[in-house]
Amino acid sequence: MNKIRKPAVAGFFYPSSPDSLSNQIEEFLVRVDNKLNPSQITGIVSPHAGYTYSGLTAAHGFSLLKGKNIETVIIICPSHREYFPGISIYNGDAYQTPLGLVEINKTMAEKIIEGSRSIFFGEQGHHQEHAIEVQLPFIQEVLPYFKLVPVVMGDQGKDFVDDLAERLSKVIDERTVIVASSDLSHYFSSDVADKMDSLVAKRISQFDYEGLWYDLEQHNCEACGGGPIVALMKAASIAGRKNSAVLNRSDSGDASGDKSEVVGYISAIVY
C-alpha cells in the first residue's frame, strides 16, 4: 500500500499503545448490556469524542457488530477543521490506527461516487480529522476483517445530504454497515443539553429524519454530524430499512463530574 492515512489523534483521543487501546475498548464492551440485537444492522450513530468521555456510549453500538458477517464499513463524518464544497472519500489505500491498517474499499467507493453531483475522491477533510479515526479501533476490535469507505462531508447542506443518501442507498446490503459519526449539543449545562439531545433521540427512535433535519435547521437541537445521521437514515429508508433504536445516551459530565458545560453523546442503530 502506497498511500496510508496515519493516525492523527492517537495518544490524545485514545491510547497510542495497541495493548492499552485494545484493553480499554474491551473494558467498555464488557460493560454493555443491550436488550436489542438485530440479525442485520444497516447503520450505527456513534459519538467521536475522547474515549474517556464517549467510549462507553460508543461501545453500545459497536458491540452489536460482534459475530456479524460485515465486509465493509462506511464511516461518514463532518469536517471539523476545514470547509470545502462537497463530500470527500479518501483517495489513498488505507487508514492506520495503533491496531493496524484498514484497507479502503475502492470498488464500493467508486460505486458511491458514480453519478454523484458532489462526492469525489480526495484528501480534503481527512488530514487531521478525528471523527472517522476514533471509530476505527472499536470496529477493529469487534470485526476480524473489514474494508473501509471513509467519507468526510465538507458541507452538510441539504443538497449534499440528499445526494449522499441517494448514493448510499445503492450500496446498502447485508454485509455493509454505515456509521454516522456525530456528537450532540456542545457546552450547555447538563439539564439544557438533556432537553436538546432528547429531541435528537426522539427523532431517531421514531425514524423521523425529516423532523430531525427540521429541528437541526431551526436550532432546536445540535449534532455536529447531523448531515451524516440524516444521510444514513434517508439512505436506509430508500432501501426499505426503517427500524431504529437509541441504545445509550450520555454527556461528558458523566465522566468529568462537571455538569456546568457538557457535550452530549448518543449511540443508536438503524436496522
Q: Cα–Cα distances in Å, from 270 out to 100, 106, 111, 234? A: 28, 24, 22, 11
66 vs 152: CA distance, rounded Å: 26
Average pLDDT over residues 37-65: 98
3 vs 11: CA distance, rounded Å: 22
In a domain, 167, yes or no: yes
In a domain, 12, yes or no: no
In a domain, 72, yes or no: yes
Q: Which residue, chain included where needed, has cell 467498555?
A: 28
Residue of 179, 184, 205, 180 whose CA lies nearest to 251? 184
In a domain, 130, yes or no: yes
What is the count of structural domains for the chain? 1
- Where residue 222 sits, what CATH number does that domain have? 3.40.830.10
115 vs 107: CA distance, rounded Å: 14
Residue 42 has pLDDT above 90, yes or no: yes
Pairing mode of beta strands 176-181, 43-46: parallel
pLDDT at 214: 98
In a domain, 34, yes or no: no
Q: Provide the residue range defining the domain that includes 160.
A: 41-270
pLDDT at 197: 98
In contact, 54 and 130? CB cutoff 8 Å: no
Average pLDDT over residues 242-259: 98
pLDDT for 91-114, tens place per residue?
A: 999 999 999 999 999 999 999 999
33 vs 94: CA distance, rounded Å: 32
What length does the chain have?
A: 271
pTM of the full predicted structure?
0.98
Residue 173 has pLDDT above 90, yes or no: yes
